[in-house]
């Protein structure tokens, strides 16, 4: 199972640029560092979750059935 590598600043900047262009978003420059921090935290958490071995037949969350 591949493990996500930590996101570098350059990778986060590139990802942000792609997302903003794709979604046609205009973002105030004052917010860019906070958005980059969020993406880096999210990538780190995704890397942690990716290392947990799950069988494809396991339920990922309980399902409520009334």
**Dihedral-angle region of residue 60 (phi above 0 means left; psi in -120 to 50 means alpha; beta otherwise):** alpha
Close Cβ partners of 3 (under 8 Å, ≥ 6 residues apart): 47, 50, 51
| Global confidence as pTM | 0.64
pLDDT digits (tens, 9 = 90+) for 11-59: 888 989 999 999 999 999 999 999 998 888 888 888 888 888 777 777 7
Identify the band that residue 4 occupies on the pLDDT scale cut at 50, 70 and 90: low
Domain coordinates in residue numbering, the chain: 9-50
């Amino acid at each position: 199972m591949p493990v996500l590598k930590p996101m570098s600043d350059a990778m986060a900047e590139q990802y942000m640029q792609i997302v903003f262009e794709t979604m046609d978003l205009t973002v105030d420059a004052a917010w860019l560092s906070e958005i980059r921090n969020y993406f880096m935290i999210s990538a780190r958490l995704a890397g942690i979750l990716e290392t947990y071995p799950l069988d494809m037949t396991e339920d990922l969350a309980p399902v409520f059935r009334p």
